[in-house]
Amino acid sequence: MLRRMLIVLISVVFALAACGTEESGSAKEADGSKGEESTTKETKAKGVVKAEDIDKMYTNPKDFKGYEVELTGQVFSETEKDDDGVYFQMFADPENSEQNTIVGIEDSNVQVKSEDYVKVTGVVKDVYDGENAFGATIEAPAILATEVEVVDYITVVAPTKETIEVNENITQHGYDIQLQKIELAENQTRVYLKVANESDDPISFYSFNSKILAGNKQLEEIDVYESGLPEIQSEILPGIETEGVIIFPELDEEIEELKYHAEGSSENYELEFKPFVFDVDIK
């Protein structure tokens, strides 16, 4: 059964939906003979692919056949399923739509769909050789997974290095903004907010008016549509609260403090609002 699953895994041709091309090709024969299933299962891994060697694995995947590996990525193909297992293609570098990876797991109950972010643990079982529509040669490692876990955007694309808990409120005329926390990642900064309308009139909040002031730099919101993170509603009726996350570029490492600057308004034009400015210590 395991042998059959592997053959299906490395022979199915998937569509490269993310770039609108198709790949075709054939896989190299898997290690070992066409022997019994137990022989395959008992084969020990040659070693473990270290985190710093992941890029090397995609450059020369044949060198890592038989090695255990842990990857995160985003599924970009439609999931294939049969009685033996589940198979899909993912990008281990979803930001750049790179590091194409074929994954199969001998568990037909695994629930994975296209665009899911996943964490995969398994063994580099084979290498898929193919050619895309532009004639470029493609080599993709085929991972025989022992575990596939659906995770979130942050885990895969922008893992949190540090969390600064703030939980401070500024209120003007019943318009309340709470800066809950700030998460620092290598490639972005995330601001978690709650906005509450405790007034008698509708209020407005626009995330693009937010800024982070760090040193002599002013950071503006960046749009990351695929993040799936909650967004703060723009028009907020009386008695309503809304929470969300605003994403900014990463901070310089030497920054020790910052100001988060937000603006708000009300349909009661007689009210005057100053900017909502929070001082935050990073170090």
pLDDT digits (tens, 9 = 90+) for 160-205: 999 999 999 999 999 999 999 999 999 999 999 999 999 999 999 9
Give the DSSP letter of residue 280. Answer: E
Taking Cα atoms as reference points, which of 170, 242, 172, 248 lies closest to residue 208? 248
The predicted pLDDT at position 2 comes to: 41
109 and 18 inside one domain: yes
130 and 230 inside one domain: no
Per mean pLDDT, which range of 30-34, 142-146, 241-245 is the poorest? 30-34
279: Cα separation from own chain's centroid: 29
Residue 207 domain boundaries: 160-281
- Which residues is 59 bridged to in the sheet? none
101 and 207 inside one domain: no
What size, in residues, is the chain?
283
107 and 17 inside one domain: yes
Q: What is the pTM of this model?
A: 0.77
77 and 106 inside one domain: yes
Q: Which of 153, 184, 219 is the last residue of a domain?
A: 153
237 and 110 inside one domain: no
Taking Cα atoms as reference points, which of 253, 31, 26 lies closest to residue 144? 31
Provide CB contacts within 8 A for 276, sequence distance 6+. Answer: 170, 172, 177, 261, 262, 263, 264
133 and 21 inside one domain: yes
Please tell me the total count of domains within the chain: 2
